[in-house]
Amino acid sequence: MQRISLTKTAHTVIQQHVHTGDTAIDATVGNGHDTLFLAELTGPNGKVYGFDIQPSALASARFKLEQHKLGSHITFINDSHAHIAELVPKSHHGNIKAVMFNLGYLPGSDKTVITQSESTLTALNATLKILSSQGVITILAYPGHSGGEQETRSLQTWCEQLDKHRYTVSMLHGDEQKNTSPRLFVIQLNR
């Protein structure tokens, strides 16, 4: 079985929803790959909010965006994604076209600093309230690292409890369906 790039799959999904001038959120900036992707999609007339609790992650992402001559329409927020609803201006609530989560730890950094189930689920609940009716949420989860299995289980349970009349949820495995293989969750509002 050929390995699926879940990051590329997430990007393909997001491209179907985000266009120039739109607003999007990178809920876990990390090294800034998804932030850069969203910045390119939204263009200079759009808006991207990037959340991360680690200042080094935000500095790395800021540098990456500067190298690509982007950044004027990006707002980096050194805070937990659990505070999305409070820190994204109310004028954007209901207009967010995409929110991307890439859970786990910052590659090349301290592997004990990881996303936590409680803050992730708080962020997801808030995201559902501020998402556009044409919006999408992508969540890459990694059960193979310490703490990742519990977070992935919590995420899967949360997804299963969403109102099936309101939301469509799909889940893809990166490799054959092993317990430790990464998973991509995609959540869309039913129209």
Tell me the average pLDDT of the chain.
Answer: 87
> Residue 128: is its pLDDT beyond 60?
yes
Assign residue 95 a region (left: φ > 0; alpha: ψ between -120 and 50; beta: otherwise): alpha
pLDDT at 1: 44
Residue 124: count of CB within 10 angstroms of its CB: 23
| Confidence label for 86 from pLDDT (cuts 50, 70 and 90) | very high
Mean pLDDT over 141-160 rounds to: 80
Q: Kindly list the structural domains of the chain, giving each domain's residue range(s) and its CATH number in brackets, ordered by start.
A: 8-140 (3.40.50.150)
In this prediction, residues 144-152 reach a mean pLDDT of 71
- Does position 116 have pLDDT exceeding 70, yes or no? no
User: 0.85 cut: is pTM over it?
Assistant: yes
Q: How far is CA 175 from CA 33, 52, 152, 156, 185, in A?
A: 22, 28, 15, 17, 14
What are the structure tokens assigned to 10, written together? 């997430």
pLDDT value at residue 147: 64
SS3 19: coil
The sign of the dihedral angle between the CA atoms of 137, 123, 76, 54 is negative
Q: Per-residue pLDDT tens for 94-104? A: 999 999 998 87
Nearest alpha carbon to residue 185 among 174, 172, 167: 172
Give the pLDDT mean for 67-75.
Answer: 89
Which pLDDT tens digit goes with each residue over 117-126? 688 899 999 9
